[in-house]
Amino acid sequence: MQKNVISNLKEKEKILLILDLDETLIHATETKLEINYDFQYAQYYIYKRPNLIEFLIEMNQYFELAVWSSADDKYVNDIVKLIKPPEIKFEFVWARSRCTPRRNYELDRYVHEKRLKKIKKQGFRLEKSLIVDDSPEKTRDNFGNAIYIMPFKGNQSDNELNLLSEFLKTIKDSENVRRIEKRGWRNRI
Ligand SMILES: [Mg+2]
């Protein structure tokens, strides 16, 4: 019993790395691209971001991993099962039902926001949580925790996950990620 408590505490000391799905880890499109797709799902052709599997396996050594997408719940759960290396266990896989819709009057539509305070109930601390997203408007309430990356649209020379992994390794032991400047992270690799 005592041993479990200690190992749970230790687990929680790793930083939680929450990853967006679409345009961050994969690109899904109904229009086939010139390159080979990785697999099909419903009406979508799915393209994995270059180095996706290596990235997940490497990051799994240093972080607790999770996925949070604003897409439909079934789609997200199914796609994650299809791309996940078997040795990885995500802390959670969250989708639209965990997002908070906010009316954007300029765009005249709802933006499904990811509000990080929701993870506190799961026992995670904001000081030890990062969220990676290509859509700043979806994580605008999480300024101190967010790392913004370039969207992936199928470009096979995309190197974003390698760059991101280099940056993340420099901050993996931080006691408070909110104190780290994350804008312009590419310049600090
Ligand atoms: Mg995205």
Q: What is the spatial distance between Cα 25 and Cα 172, in angstroms, rounded to a whole number? A: 20
What is the DSSP track for 73-129?
HHHHHHHHHHH--TT---S-EE-GGGSEEEEETTTTEEEEE--THHHHTTT--GGGE
Q: Which CATH class is domain 14-188?
A: alpha beta
- Reported as a single tens digit per residue, the pLDDT across 52-94 is 999 999 999 999 999 999 999 999 999 999 999 999 999 999 9
Distance 18 CA to ligand 1 centre (A): 12
Distance 164 CA to ligand 1 centre (A): 15
Q: 16: which strand partners?
A: 64, 129
Distance 7 CA to ligand 1 centre (A): 33
List residues, by chain if needed, whose CB lies under 5 Å from ion ligand 1: 20, 22-24, 134-135
What long-range pairs does 84-87 form, CB within 8 A, spacing at least 24? 84/56, 85/53, 85/56, 85/57, 87/57, 87/60
Instruction: Fill in the DSSP letter of residue 174.
Output: -
Distance 24 CA to ligand 1 centre (A): 5
Q: What is the spatial distance between Cα 130 and Cα 114, in angstroms, rounded to a whole number? A: 12
Q: Write down the mean pLDDT value for the chain.
A: 93
Give the pTM: 0.92
Distance 72 CA to ligand 1 centre (A): 13
Distance 70 CA to ligand 1 centre (A): 8
Distance 111 CA to ligand 1 centre (A): 12
- Reported as a single tens digit per residue, the pLDDT across 10-30 is 555 899 999 999 999 999 999
Nearest to 126 by CA among 164, 174, 158: 174
Q: Answer yes or no: is pLDDT of 6 > 90.
A: no
Q: List the domain boundaries for the chain.
A: 14-188
Distance 133 CA to ligand 1 centre (A): 6
Distance 22 CA to ligand 1 centre (A): 4
Strand, coil or helix: 26? strand
